[in-house]
Chains A and B, each alone.
Chain A
Amino acid sequence: MKAGTPAGLIGTTAFQGLAVSELAALGVSGLPLLVVQHPLGGERPESVARRAHQALEQLTSLIGSPAAQDEIGRAAATRSSLSPPTVESALAALDTVDDPEAVLAEFVARQWCDGLPIIPPTEARVRALLGGAPPDRSLGPLPPLWRTATLEALAVNAVMAGCEPAAFPVLVAAVRAMLDPAFNLYGVQATTHPVAPLVIVHGPVAARIGVHAGSGCFGPGFRANATIGRALRLILMNVGGAWPGRHDMATQGSPAKFAYCIAEHVDASPWGPLRADDSVTVFGGEPPHNVNDHVSTTAAGILATVADTAVSLGSNVGWFLAQSQLLLVLGPEHAATIAGDGFSRTDVQRYVFEHARLPLRTLKLGGMWGMQDWPASLRAVQDDDALLPQVPSPDDVLVIVAGGPGKHSSVVPNCTFSRAVSRPVEPLT
């Protein structure tokens, strides 16, 4: 459209709310939007043909009448019961009764929180969290509604989540990392996949602010893990605008969308940390997939279980090969067994790269067969028994150690279109 050629969108009813909001946020509300019945994918040819007729009927009502085009555009917006709430400035204030239940009710009614109780973000609390950092400093617009991620807006959400001031620079680093194009935050926010950004905190800052890396690190009980993870989700919902079913189109979502933040258990890692500096890595991942191996006494045994857990027809990993990644979160006991056989971190990466594979015949059964984005070397494979890689290289198998005693590890597959990004944790003043 910027080139001057008339343009339009075709989408389904389920995605109409996202399309309307997105066009408005980008300042192109007038763009024609043809809405066909959802779903389109998985339908038989005759159903697709009916949808083509739906699109044609809408186009017919638009052609040759700019007024009609405007009318249709407005109708699309008003037909949708999923229209977003009025956009308000982060500086906008709400006066309410000073009572925890009343404050929660106000925030729930405005779709300003995740459903759990919040700390009321008074100006004094927000200033205290900012600690002298410039409130107007912007990290950039956050998709899918492209609202401005000022430090003040981040701080309001951090207060709500219960963050302590010492954790705020970690949160800011995580948002900076998510804004790297390689992370594809628009895709992470709007996809039907259940992806949530996992925040991994590296370096001495993790222990300083209390990010837990031991027993139950993915679970409850630890304020820094819970509140950094929760604050990030509130930012994605309130600043980014990803409300479930409207702009966050996750079919089912996941519990990891409430909070997803851990640290590396450096003392338990035979290979040292993935990163030693004060920094964060954001990884657009599924919830952890459990790796239960109570019997293996060798690296090959543990990693066979890891590799088997890492691949399945239902996983997104592998279909968009260049962007696919696997994160291994090895429990300390599994890591010790693997290292006991002389495996370095690089050896683990290579072993999993070479063994976490599926045969072509299995991939042909479903999943995203026909939609894959593969290099020529994979597209050329004819042998149905050929085992195909799920990530492009050993470097796309990330390995960290976390957790406590026990014979469990985790594999976290990425959402296949978002790559891990790291950023240093820096002072904000």
Chain B
Amino acid sequence: MTRIRVLSPVSAVRSENLAAPPLPDDWAGRTVGFIDNTKHNFDRLADELGALLRARYGVTAVLRRRKANAAVAAPPELVAELAQACDVVFTGSGD
């Protein structure tokens, strides 16, 4: 049977690789931030995890900031505020 050559419909990714800063070894006295993606219960999850981090690791402050809605990126000023004020920042992703 004859053969046919077809092109792939999948295109290539062009992206640079960025190194992620490592998490701190010692969390005592640190400030942890959460970006609330507004999905249901993320605020509660962040508060529960924040309380655990205070109790178990000596985290002293927990900041939670809420973006406008789940479908848009957090505004630059919110990101800048948390980057400035926090030692580690977690963001909610998906439902």
Contacts and interface: CB of A to CB of B under 8 A. Distances in A.
Interface bin, chain A: 35 or more
Contacts of B15: 25-27, 146
B89 A89 contact: no
Contact of A90 (B8, B68, B90, B95): B8
B71 A148 contact: no
B67 to A, nearest CB: 9
A295 interface: no
B94 A14 contact: yes
Nearest to B95: A41
**Is chain B's binding surface mostly helix, strand, loop or mixed?**
loop
Given A6-B88, A10-B92, A52-B48, A30 B20 contact: yes
A78 to B, nearest CB: 18
A4 B10 contact: no
B71 A156 contact: no
A297 B14 CA distance: 58
Contact of B22 (A6, A51, A95): A6
Given A40-B41, A120-B4, A3 B83 contact: yes
Contacts of A5: 21, 82-83, 86-89
Nearest to A7: B89
A349 interface: no
Contact of B7 (A1, A29, A53, A121): A121
Given A149-B11, A371-B39, A371-B69, A52 B23 contact: no
A122 B7 contact: yes
A312 interface: no
A98 B1 contact: yes
A28 interface: yes
A95 B11 contact: no
A28 B93 CA distance: 15
Contacts of A177: none
Given A5-B87, A31-B20, A15 B93 contact: yes
Contacts of A55: 45, 49
Nearest to A187: B71
A428 B49 CA distance: 53
Contact of A18 (B39, B52, B94): B94
Nearest to A63: B23
B22 A88 contact: no
A309 interface: no
A38 interface: yes
A284 B40 CA distance: 23
Contacts of B23: 6, 8, 32, 59, 62-64, 69
A134 to B, nearest CB: 15
Interface string B53-65: 1001100000000
Contacts, number: 252
Contact of B42 (A18, A40, A141, A156): A40
A249 interface: yes
A416 B8 CA distance: 34
A27 to B, nearest CB: 4
A43 interface: yes
Contact of B45 (A6, A14, A42, A52): A52
A383 interface: no
A7 B88 contact: yes
Nearest to A320: B69
B90 A417 contact: no
Given A43-B41, A48-B41, A103-B4, A3 B10 contact: no
B13 A87 contact: yes
Contact of B90 (A10, A53, A64, A370): A10
Contacts of B56: 56
Contacts of A26: 15, 18
Contacts of B91: 7-10
Given A95-B5, A97-B3, A48 B25 contact: no
Contacts of B86: 5
B71 A417 contact: yes
A145 B49 contact: no
Contact of A238 (B3, B11, B20, B45): B11
A160 interface: yes
A26 B40 CA distance: 26
A239 B9 contact: yes
A45 B44 contact: yes
B93 A11 contact: yes
Nearest first, the 4 A-B pairs at minimum CB distance are A15-B94, A417-B71, A52-B48, A41-B40
16 contacts: A4-B21, A7-B20, A9-B93, A18-B93, A18-B94, A28-B18, A53-B52, A87-B10, A93-B6, A99-B1, A122-B7, A147-B11, A153-B10, A184-B71, A373-B68, A417-B72
Given A371-B69, A417-B69, 5 more contacts: A5-B88, A6-B22, A52-B49, A94-B7, A191-B71
